Amino acid sequence: MRLSRSARRRLGAAAALTLTACLTVACSSSDPGSGSADAASGPYTIWDPYPQFDDGSAWVKLLNTCGAEAGVTVKRTGYDTTDLTNKALLAAQQDNSPDVLIVDNPVVSTLAEAGALTTTEETKLDTAGIEPNLLAAGQLGGKTYGVPIGANTLALYYNKAVLTKAGVDPAGLKDWAALTAALAKVKQSGGKGITFSAIGTEEGSFQFLPWFWGSGAQLTRLDSPEAVSALTLWTDWLKQGYAPNSVLNNTQTTSWQEFATGDYAFGENGTWQLANAKKTGFDYGIIAIPSRAGGTAPAPTGGEFVTAPVRSDKARYAVSQRLITCLTSADNALTTDTTLSYVAATAAVQRKQVAATPELAVWVEAVKAAKGRTSDDLGTRYPKISQPLWTAFQAALSGSQSPPDALKAAQTTAAAATR
């Protein structure tokens, strides 16, 4: 899923509601019960974060087809992503959850911790073919709580004309030193360097994480020497005039708009801008974000998980499993991921995507190196770490604190919040 400015609000609201949910439903699954005699009959409810798709869309037709194959009718509701998590938690409190819930991957751990989701073991969902780094975004405490429908992530778009004028070969940009040297050449040739989003929201953290992780830093220690090197990279770019001061307020959308002017050599952005890239009017290319020492940096994964919420009538889980299996099957995933501008969650489908659209090869490479923000068993601790992190890079980029001081303060705040 494209990460937007609403991401922080979604996560913050979900985290706040988790406590309420826990107090109300005791954060545990309901008793098994005997199950309904008519569990296989419809309708089976599906909630998704795609309100832009109407009943005539390929997505809704797929939902209905999967329902027919499972022998049930499907009742689908598409919610705005800002509302879906709250509605899912409220439904869990009232034992009125949908049979299938499709939700942004960082929210999976929040819903799981609230006792709102079943595990793939409970519902007998097969996850064997899914790329482990993508599946990790839906794992907590050694258990898996759904199946990724696909993923998107970040890379660097580049303007071929700007790089050619500066004498830069993008194929050689494999580490930070090479990229920074390229930015210096671009500036010397009269061009502008790189634009990205460093806004003080989850959206900014999303864009900083490839550089943070690419330094070798870990989210459990925000003030490590590696983390300081990542923030120093960004602050030095501003000091040298390689990146504009507007990054402090840029969303990913406004950052893209800067790149689309044709003035910038590079723009950090995601797969969701591919259609817009074709409309810019200039030749562009895409390279993976390099890590400090070389190779592809781990960028954060976006995208949704297909989950089966906890229901008191467990007899319905069998049909839920068939619906989820259908929605995430290789043939259906190829069509769905193409519609959503996602990279598939399995290597087999990824190969089909690249065969059909060769320019997706760099995105497949980026997704293979990517990781979930809640991975490493961070779960619901992640939002409490992300906020101090974006506070730190805002302070450093604005010049109010040095990178070491800003990250030291961030670590103190995060440690206190995650005890």
Banded model confidence at residue 339, pLDDT cuts 50, 70, 90: confident
| Residue 276 identity | N
Could you tell me if 79 and 51 are in contact, meaning their C-beta atoms sit under 8 angstroms apart? yes
Write the pLDDT tens digit of every residue in 230-251.
999 999 999 999 999 999 999 9
Write the pLDDT tens digit of every residue in 275-323.
899 999 999 999 999 999 999 999 999 999 999 999 999 999 999 999 9
pLDDT at residue 168, rounded to an integer = 98
Which CATH number among 3.40.50.620, 3.40.50.300, 3.30.420.40, 3.40.190.10 corresponds to the domain 154-299+378-417? 3.40.190.10
Banded model confidence at residue 223, pLDDT cuts 50, 70, 90: very high
pLDDT at residue 341, rounded to an integer = 86
CATH class of the structural domain 6-151+302-369: alpha beta
Could you give the dihedral angle defined by the CA atoms of residues 275, 170, 370 and 355, in that order, rounded to the nearest 10 degrees? 60
Where are the domains positioned within the chain?
Answer: 6-151+302-369, 154-299+378-417
Banded model confidence at residue 80, pLDDT cuts 50, 70, 90: confident
- Kindly tell me the burial class for residue 279, based on how many C-beta atoms sit within 10 Å of its own C-beta (0-12, 13-18, 19 or more): exposed
* Spatial separation of the C-alpha atoms in residues 132 and 35, rounded to whole Å: 33
Write the pLDDT tens digit of every residue in 244-281.
999 999 999 999 999 999 999 999 999 999 989 999 99
Q: List the structure tokens of 80.
A: 């705005």
Write the pLDDT tens digit of every residue in 120-132.
999 999 999 999 9
Q: What are phi and psi of 279, to 5 degrees?
A: -100, 0
Could you tell me if 24 and 304 are in contact, meaning their C-beta atoms sit under 8 angstroms apart? no
* Spatial separation of the C-alpha atoms in residues 242 and 202, rounded to whole Å: 24
Which alpha helices (H) appear in 193-316, and where do they start and end?
Answer: 202-214, 225-239, 252-259, 274-277
* Spatial separation of the C-alpha atoms in residues 39 and 87, rounded to whole Å: 23
**pLDDT (mean) for 216-220:** 98
Please report which helix (H) or strand (E) contains residue 158, including its range.
strand 154-159
What residues contact 34, with CB distance under 8 A and at least 6 apart? none
* Spatial separation of the C-alpha atoms in residues 379 and 372, rounded to whole Å: 10
Banded model confidence at residue 27, pLDDT cuts 50, 70, 90: very low
3-state SS assignment for residue 285: strand
Q: What is the pTM of this model?
A: 0.86
pLDDT at residue 340, rounded to an integer = 85
pLDDT at residue 38, rounded to an integer = 53
pLDDT at residue 381, rounded to an integer = 95
pLDDT at residue 167, rounded to an integer = 98
Write the pLDDT tens digit of every residue in 32-78.
333 444 566 669 999 999 999 999 999 999 999 999 999 999 999 99
Beta bridge partners of 304: 104
* Spatial separation of the C-alpha atoms in residues 290 and 287, rounded to whole Å: 8
* Spatial separation of the C-alpha atoms in residues 74 and 352, rounded to whole Å: 29
What residues contact 187, with CB distance under 8 A and at least 6 apart? 193, 240, 241, 242
- Whether 154-299+378-417 and 6-151+302-369 are alike in CATH topology: the answer is yes
| Per-residue DSSP letter, 296 | B
Write the pLDDT tens digit of every residue in 150-182.
999 999 999 999 999 999 999 999 999 999 999
pLDDT-wise least confident of 4-8, 113-117, 190-194: 4-8
- Beta strand 44-48 with 264-270 is unpaired
